[in-house]
Amino acid sequence: MKESSGRKQGVASPCAACKLLRRRCTHDCVFSPYFPADEPHKFASVHKVFGASNVNKMLQELPEHQRGDAVSSMVYEANARVRDPVYGCVGAISSLQQQIDVLQTQLAYAQAEVVHMRMRQLENASPSSRDLQSRRAKSHFNMDMVVDQDNMDTSLWP
C-alpha cells in the first residue's frame, strides 16, 4: 500500500530524493517507495551523511523485501550522526550501556539486601520456634500429670 502510494506520487510529483537531487523521478525510481515527497527530511539527512549515490548503490544491492528495513536503519543512523557528529549511533549505544551498568549494580545491591534480610529473618525465627517447642513440651508434660492424677483418683476412690 505504501509502495503503490509512493509510485503514484512518483508519477504525479517527484519523490523526496529526486526533488532534492533535481532529477526526473521515473516510475522505476529506487528511492520513491522509501522517500515519499511528504517526508523530505528523511532523504535530506541520509544524503548528507551517506551521499545519494551510496544510498542508491546500497538499495540496488539489496533484495526488495530488505530495502525498507535498510532505509529505516540508514535514516536512524544518519539522524544520530547529525545530532552527534562525533559518535553518532555509538553515542546512543554507549549511553544505553552505561544505563545497563548502573541498573545491574542497583540490582546486585537489591539482591544482596534480600539475602541479608532473609538471613536476619531466619536468625529471628529460630529462637522463637525453639521457645514454642519447649512450651509445647511443657504443656504436654502438664497434661500427662493431670491424666495421671485422674487415674490415681479413680483408682483410689472407686
Q: Of the listed pieces 22-30, 61-69, 88-96, 132-140, which binds Zn ion according to CB under 5 A?
A: 22-30
> Quick one: 25 or 55, whose CB is closer to Zn ion?
25
Residue with cell 500500500: 1
**Cell output for 110:** 537489591
Residue 18 has which C-alpha cell?
Answer: 529526486
CB closer to Zn ion, 64 vs 113: 64
| Contact flag: residue 37 with Zn ion (CB under 5 A) | no
Q: Is 74 in the site for Zn ion (CB under 5 A)?
A: no
Q: Which three cell numbers stand for residue 93?
A: 549505544
Q: How far is the CB of 88 from Zn ion (least distance, A)?
A: 27
Closest CB 59 distance from Zn ion, rounded Å: 12
Q: Are 36 and 64 in contact (CB under 8 A)?
A: no
Please give the helix or strand (H or E) that residue 48 lies within, else none: helix 40-49
Considering the rule CB under 5 A, would residue 31 count as an interface residue with Zn ion?
Answer: yes
78 is a site residue for Zn ion (CB under 5 A): no
Do 10 and 25 touch, CB atoms closer than 8 A?
yes
Cα–Cα dist 52/22, whole Å: 12
* Residue 18 or 55 having the CB closest to Zn ion: 18
- Please tell me whether residue 18 binds Zn ion under the rule CB under 5 A: yes
Question: b/e per residue, 41-73, with b = 16+ CB within 10 A?
Answer: ebbbbbbebbebeebbeebeeeeeeebeeebee
Counting residues that bind Zn ion (by CB under 5 A) gives 6
Is residue 25 part of the contact set for Zn ion (CB under 5 A)? yes
Check residue 32 for interaction with Zn ion (CB under 5 A): yes
The site for Zn ion (CB under 5 A) is made up of 15, 18, 25, 29, 31-32
